[in-house]
């Protein structure tokens, strides 16, 4: 332990000026905060003044900030964020100072760590330490990291501890991300429409770029950095080659300049046919030297403008997107061509595994596995196969994708959907961290017990050097960013789980509630309870017991299990539930499609056994008779009716629980949540009634005693149309 505080490298002459500027800023900030109404814009970064007893707990330890590092743009951001945040929370100025006395917070990187006997060797580029040290009679709070980005992440962690009222008197925290690339995928189009977007227009205003930088971009960067997200894919996977033209590269560069101080790299989606569409070539064949040269030149052009450009995300040979199959080439040949183009610059290619074909009679659940597993080991080292959590398409519940564990020589990245395309859009409360953790903790058994999906995607199971987790963004131009207050929690939880896939969903949710809504323990408990049962409630009133893809055509809004006439079989709900007069469910055992064979022997045996398969996957893997006796003692039909009804009952209960918080939550946000819960209850009943009415038309069974009949006839439900449903 040193006997003195290390010398700050910032010029002493700047201290008084910085203090004056901070004082003026705080005055204006407090005035502004007092005047503004809560609308959710500030997300979990509200920094409102804490109650007196909490302020007293922290004030002695958090008096001033001292930089033991060079003041780079990222260090400046970290210092400003810490000063602004603590000043707001503690109700007094916490300045950046030239030297530390009692109550100093030291921001330390690199060689300066040796002054405090701190070992940073295991932190990597993004990890950090939070330590409480004593120097004589002085207590110091140290945030230390190898790199500036890690320092910024450590700052946000300390702020979170203060926001949530944690004891920081004896800090000893080490935090290192398990995933390298933690990225948001924006399905945003250049015209500002957003595919599967339920929160307004795209925040990227391409018409005004590069000359006008919306301040919202900085707030976006702050929010992402606060939860460890370090990348953003700006454009839709259903790609537009125009974004790769020189004017748009200039626009992307302007966004990248704004993101860079917050440790965020930008990525773009690459349309495979771009050499034809904007390059003047007659082919996009990845084996053609001219095509290879065009992509290499395009990568060089991008990196000249954006030296830290992350690389490309690619959707190819899927749902009409062009790809290497047009030229009788494999996914590996297509991905490797792009990987070679960005490799000299340190870039990566995230190649999506979401592929299926209307011309392929094989169970859609199996098609990605069939295409990619034979290519294992044939991809370049800077290619990541970005794989959805399940084999179909972000359903309320799916078993883990069989690709996880089936490609040991290839890095597989996880793709989660934060925007709730199949879970009620923006108006339904559905906290998704439990769903994501369910997948991350699933055991593939490919190397025996403990071979979890999380260990596959973080690279530890097979020793891969790169890892990635992507979340399909739910962010838009709405003032509250995500269309509803509670959907902010899914953005927040994605970042926390991308940093640490083992994090507990309940702990993440509690942090979010305390930072976003209130620190009142009673209110926190009520809100947390609603959040933690929400995903299961949605499963119950939409797709219980392993049903899936019962949603309306195209827009995916509301129930339509009867749809059977779409041109592609796998777009029809009847393809998935296969209900008839005898039973319901998709037989994926050996007697059916045999999709279970794509899993390890241990998992396949469990899924294939009607008596052993988990109830939540029963109808995903088995066609089961309506009178099959469930563990509850009910028949399958009775159990389905019970689950659908229970989902509605849960949502109905939330309305009363939320009403108990009136006056304890600011009026604007309280009212919006109350209104949305009313919408959710109405639509949950619609889901229940429409699905049960349809299934009753097939099985001829009555509802069990005590259960209310559907409110409308099946024909009335079938006649409902929604030509302007959002997100298409």
Give catalytic residue positions. Answer: 319, 393, 421
CA distance 450 to 420: 30
SS3 704: coil
What residues contact residue 257 under an 8 Å CB cut-off, 6+ apart? none
H helical segments located in 614-666: 618-621, 636-659
Apex 712 CA angle, 706 and 714, nearest 5? 105
Q: How far apart are CA 134 and CA 100, in angstroms?
A: 12
Which residues, 6 or more positions from 42, have their beta carbon under 8 angstroms from its beta carbon? none
Task: Tell me how far apart the alpha carbons of residues 178 and 227 are, in angstroms, rounded to a whole number.
Answer: 14
Coil, strand, or helix at residue 390? coil
Q: How far apart are CA 146 and CA 108, in angstroms?
A: 8
Q: What residues form DSSP beta bridges with 163?
A: none
User: Residue with structure tokens 């349809």?
Assistant: 694
The alpha carbon of 369 is separated from its chain's Cα centroid by a whole number of angstroms, namely 24
Torsion of CA 295, 297, 302, 308, to 10 degrees: 90
| 392 CB-near residues (< 8 Å, 6+ apart) | 364, 365, 398, 548, 549, 576
CA–CA separation, 195 and 187 (whole Å): 5
CA 192/CA 475 separation, integer angstroms: 12
Distance CA 605, CA 597 (A): 9
Residue 371: which of 340, 338, 402 has the closest Cα? 402
Count the alpha carbons within 13 Å of 702 in the hemisphere toward its beta carbon: 3
């Amino acid at each position: 332990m040193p006997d003195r505080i290390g010398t700050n490298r910032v010029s002493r002459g700047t201290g008084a000026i910085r203090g004056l500027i901070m004082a003026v800023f705080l005055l204006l900030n407090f005035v502004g905060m007092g005047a503004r109404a809560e609308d959710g814009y500030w997300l979990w970064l509200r920094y409102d003044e804490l109650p007196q007893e909490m302020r007293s707990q922290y004030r002695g330890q958090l008096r001033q900030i001292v930089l033991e590092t060079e003041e780079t743009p990222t260090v400046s951001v970290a210092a400003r964020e810490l000063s602004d945040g603590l000043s707001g929370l503690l109700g007094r100025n916490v300045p950046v100072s030239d030297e530390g006395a009692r109550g100093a917070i030291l921001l330390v990187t690199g060689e300066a760590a040796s002054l405090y006997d701190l070992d940073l060797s295991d932190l990597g580029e993004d990890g950090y330490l939070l330590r409480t040290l004593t120097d004589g009679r002085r207590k110091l709070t140290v945030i230390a990291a190898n790199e500036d980005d890690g320092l910024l992440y450590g700052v946000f962690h300390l702020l979170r501890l203060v926001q949530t009222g944690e004891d920081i008197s004896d800090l000893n925290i080490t935090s290192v991300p398990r995933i390298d690339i933690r990225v948001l995928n924006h399905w945003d189009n250049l015209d500002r429409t957003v595919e599967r977007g339920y929160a307004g227009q795209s925040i990227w205003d391409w018409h005004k770029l590069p000359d006008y930088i919306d301040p919202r971009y900085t707030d976006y960067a702050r929010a992402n950095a606060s939860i460890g997200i370090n990348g953003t894919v700006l454009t839709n996977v259903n790609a537009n080659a125009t974004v790769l033209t020189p004017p748009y590269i200039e626009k992307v560069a302007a966004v990248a300049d704004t993101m860079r101080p917050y440790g965020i790299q930008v990525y773009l989606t690459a349309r495979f046919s771009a050499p034809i569409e904007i390059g003047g070539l007659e082919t996009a064949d990845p084996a053609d030297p001219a095509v290879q040269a065009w992509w290499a030149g395009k990568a060089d052009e991008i990196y000249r403008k954006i030296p830290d450009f992350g690389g490309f995300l690619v959707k190819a040979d899927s749902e009409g997107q062009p790809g290497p199959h047009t030229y009788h080439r494999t996914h590996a040949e297509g991905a490797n061509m792009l990987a070679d183009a960005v490799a000299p610059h340190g870039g990566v290619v995230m190649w999506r595994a979401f592929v299926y074909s209307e011309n392929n009679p094989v169970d859609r659940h199996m098609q990605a596995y069939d295409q990619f597993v034979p290519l294992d080991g044939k991809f370049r080292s800077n290619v990541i196969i970005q794989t959805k959590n399940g084999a179909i398409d972000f359903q309320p519940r799916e078993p883990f994708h069989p690709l996880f564990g089936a490609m040991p020589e290839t890095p597989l990245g996880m793709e989660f959907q934060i925007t709730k395309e199949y879970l009620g859009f923006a108006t339904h409360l559905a906290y998704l961290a439990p769903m994501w953790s369910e997948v991350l903790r699933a055991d593939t058994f490919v190397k025996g017990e403990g071979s979890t999906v999380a260990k596959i995607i973080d690279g530890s199971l097979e020793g891969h050097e790169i890892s990635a987790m992507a979340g399909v963004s739910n962010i838009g131009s709405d003032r509250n960013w995500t269309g509803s207050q509670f959907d902010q929690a899914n953005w927040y939880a994605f970042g926390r789980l991308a940093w640490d896939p083992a994090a507990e969903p309940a702990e993440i949710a509690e942090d979010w509630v305390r930072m976003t809504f209130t620190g009142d323990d009673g209110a926190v408990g009520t809100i947390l309870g609603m959040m933690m049962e929400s995903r299961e409630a949605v499963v119950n009133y939409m797709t219980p017991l392993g049903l899936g893809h019962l949603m309306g055509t195209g827009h995916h809004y509301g129930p339509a299990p009867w749809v059977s006439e779409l041109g592609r079989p796998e777009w029809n709900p009847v393809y998935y539930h296969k209900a008839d007069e005898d039973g319901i469910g998709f037989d994926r055992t050996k007697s059916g499609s045999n999709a279970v064979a794509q899993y390890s022997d241990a998992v396949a045996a469990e899924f294939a056994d009607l008596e052993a398969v988990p109830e939540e996957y029963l109808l995903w893997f088995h066609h089961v008779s309506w009178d099959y006796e469930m563990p509850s003692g009910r028949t399958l039909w009775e159990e389905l009716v019970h689950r659908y009804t229970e989902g509605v009952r849960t949502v109905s209960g939330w309305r009363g629980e939320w009403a108990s918080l009136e006056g304890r939550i600011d009026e604007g946000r309280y009212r919006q949540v109350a209104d949305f819960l009313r919408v959710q209850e109405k639509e949950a009943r619609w889901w229940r009634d429409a699905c049960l009415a349809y299934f009753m038309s097939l099985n001829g069974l009555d509802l069990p005693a005590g259960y209310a009949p559907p409110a409308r006839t099946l024909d009335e439900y079938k006649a409902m149309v929604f030509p302007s449903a959002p997100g298409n």
